[in-house]
Structure 1
Amino acid sequence: MSVNLPESLATFDTEYCADSLEFYPFNDTQRFLVGTYQLLKDGNAQANQEELTSSDATRVGRIYVCDAIDTDGGMRIIERQRIETSAIFDIKWSYNNVDGKHLAGVACADGSLAIYSANNQSDAEFLSPVCTNIASSMCCSLDWSNRRVSTSTPRVVTSYSDGQLQLLQLSESSLTEVCQWQGHDLEAWIAAFDYWTPDIVYSGGDDARLKGWDTRIGPHPVFNSRRHQAGVCSIQSNFHREHILATGSYDEHVFVWDTRNMRMPVQEYNVGG
């Protein structure tokens, strides 16, 4: 069976490993953010990074602000700004303005959730820091509660390498903890809101558990699924259709769920890697 591979239109050397990319969702420009991650030992990038431990390695990262530009010679990627950070695990835009600002959240290996504001008047200083929340373990993921409904006080859910989950509220350019709880026995790779009912949070961990939480009633899961056979690393609520949830795992399967019945997925795809 032949496979049609997509055509490469342009390339850009990020130097460090690129593990997160988010297009700017507020206009028709081809602007995007790239988050990178690298383990360093003695100031040098390592080829065999699995041999490094957290005690002898430094995790560094970088945010790139880039534009994809169509030219007569084809597409080019232009770097507009770079920001040195700790290693980045996740980047997500708030898809609705917050007090008139376009905001992006960045989850980093130093435990920080950093919120940045976009400035359309400057390419060189497109992103500027707004506020930061620091935890004691690596911040693996984030999600915004306001994907469908705009609010001046959105909530942000984060997950951590010690299995903790944290719910934060953004108000007047500061982050305040709403609650924090132990969600998983191993790394909590991913946390995400149900965009139709933002009081509901989903999480996935290296313990192969997919869990649902009602943040109104305390730290007890409303479901605890072991349908995946390996670590759960991706969760996405469908903001176009209510009750539809997609999850991904190291077991190479993508499941589509009806959130009204989380005992069994309604569709299953073996993506083969």
Structure 2
Amino acid sequence: MAAATWTTRWRWDTGLSADSAEWCPVPPHTDVLVCGTYQLNKGDEGKQSANQKRLGRIYVFRINDETTTLEPVHTVEISGILDQKWCYHTIDNHPVLAVVTSDGFVKLFKLITEEGECKLELWMEESIGESILALSVDWSTNKLRSAETRLVVSDSSGSVTVFAVQDKLNKLGTWNCHGFEAWIAAFNYWNPDVFYSGGDDCLFKSHDVRAGGAVCSRAHDAGVTSVRSSVDVEHQLLTGSYDESVRLWDARALKRPVTETNVNGGVWRLKYHPRRPASVLAACMYGGFRILNVEGDSITVVNEYMEHESIAYGADWKFSEDGNMVATCSFYDCKLHVGNIVFEA
């Protein structure tokens, strides 16, 4: 297990509340970072949830050896963003960003970098329903390329929808998974027919698009907010919860976790390091950010980052050769930080 030092390089005020930070994983565009924001229109604060308007922006940054200050190169005005994820490979010769919004849409943006430009261009979109929020999104092909690239989207009604990305977003099915909000949905990257969901009903479920029913775990003591499959270690799976624990699972046996570790904050996002399979970045809401070491049947906290002053929501590693740059963002203080991690032997 390696200790780590975390140093902040830049801070930037996002204007609206920041809740997602995602580095592009597709070479040669790994210097592109997007930050998503979500904020309730102040004039709608007394209205019913379904009638409230939520504002959002996507900020696009390019961060490389020539960067001296943090400034966006492109901004997209959009409804409130709950989650966004890059596809790990190009589609139609472009990196593609999937975004889910507060008005119930999943939108795909192509990254355009021609003639010195760097911008997002809306490619296709699909509604998942009226008066619901789309809460999370994931791609099926982070590990294995296949003839059919899929998206899984969870929503505030407790449902999860799977789409095939073709000439349009074709709905393959919708599963009514949870009694309350389905905070998270994610694929098993080693088997794209399998996806997972976690809800505010404290349930963690495994689903197979080829079969009915689901494997259900009741191991969490509060809502399940994060699920991440490892692309390096087959059958390794992590979950996070409002109960402030990160749980390690063997995907072949989901009745009970292999182990769990308290991280002193509700776990909103978990991201494996792109080059170090045992290193995991965790956004722990009111507990700040953590770097975890996941090896064998143990989870250990090796670093804490407490320089944000509000809810820690967005976190990601840069997909560079060493992968030791990170982006983090926090909600009410509207802050994006970019820093460096140095792992010590």
TM-score, scaled to structure 1: 0.89
- Specify the code of the residue in structure 1 equivalent to 2:31: Q
| Structure 1, unpaired ranges of 5+ | 44-48
Q: Which residue of 2 aligns with 1:60?
A: 55
Is residue 100 of structure 2 the alignment partner of residue 107 of structure 1? Answer: yes
Contact 1:69/1:78, CA 8 A, preserved across alignment: no
For residues 117-132 of structure 1, the aligned pairs below 5 Å read 117-121=110-114, 124=117, 126-132=119-125
| Percent of residue pairs bearing the same amino acid type | 36
* SS in structure 1 of the partner of residue 232 of structure 2: coil
Deviation at 1:210, TM superposition (A): 0.2
Deviation at 1:230, TM superposition (A): 0.4
**Inter-partner Cα distance in structure 2 for 1:38 and 1:158:** 21
- Specify the code of the residue in structure 1 equivalent to 2:6: P
Q: Which residue of 2 aligns with 1:214?
A: 208
1:22 and 1:122, CA in 2 relative to 1: closer, same or farther beyond 3 A?
farther
**Inter-partner Cα distance in structure 2 for 1:124 and 1:100:** 16
- Aligned length, in residue pairs: 260
Is residue 257 of structure 2 the alignment partner of residue 265 of structure 1? Answer: yes
**Inter-partner Cα distance in structure 1 for 2:175 and 2:109:** 26
- Specify the code of the residue in structure 2 equivalent to 1:235: V
Contact 2:216/2:255, CA 8 A, preserved across alignment: no
For residues 8-27 of structure 1, the aligned pairs below 5 Å read 8-27=8-27
Deviation at 1:146, TM superposition (A): 0.8
Q: What is the alpha-carbon root mean square deviation over aligned residues?
A: 2.1
Q: Which consecutive segments of 4 or more residues in structure 1 shift more than 6 A?
A: none
Q: Which residue of 1 aligns with 2:172?
A: 178
- The match for 1:241 among 233, 236, 240 is 233
- Specify the code of the residue in structure 2 equivalent to 1:167: V
Deviation at 1:78, TM superposition (A): 2.2
1:122-175 alpha-carbon deviations (Å, 9 max, x no partner): 565521011001022110011111111223530111101000110110112x10
**Inter-partner Cα distance in structure 2 for 1:38 and 1:52:** 15
**Inter-partner Cα distance in structure 2 for 1:16 and 1:258:** 38
Is residue 197 of structure 2 the alignment partner of residue 203 of structure 1? Answer: yes
1:238-272 alpha-carbon deviations (Å, 9 max, x no partner): 01111000000000000010011112211211001
Deviation at 1:181, TM superposition (A): 1.8
**Inter-partner Cα distance in structure 1 for 2:57 and 2:202:** 30
- Specify the code of the residue in structure 2 equivalent to 1:214: D
RCO comparison, higher one (Cα < 8 Å, 6+): 2
TM-score, scaled to structure 2: 0.71
Is residue 2 of structure 2 the alignment partner of residue 6 of structure 1? Answer: no
Deviation at 1:69, TM superposition (A): 4.5
**Inter-partner Cα distance in structure 1 for 2:164 and 2:53:** 30
Contact 1:159/1:189, CA 8 A, preserved across alignment: yes
Contact 2:26/2:90, CA 8 A, preserved across alignment: no
| Structure 2, unpaired ranges of 5+ | 266-345
Q: Which residue of 1 aligns with 2:135?
A: 140
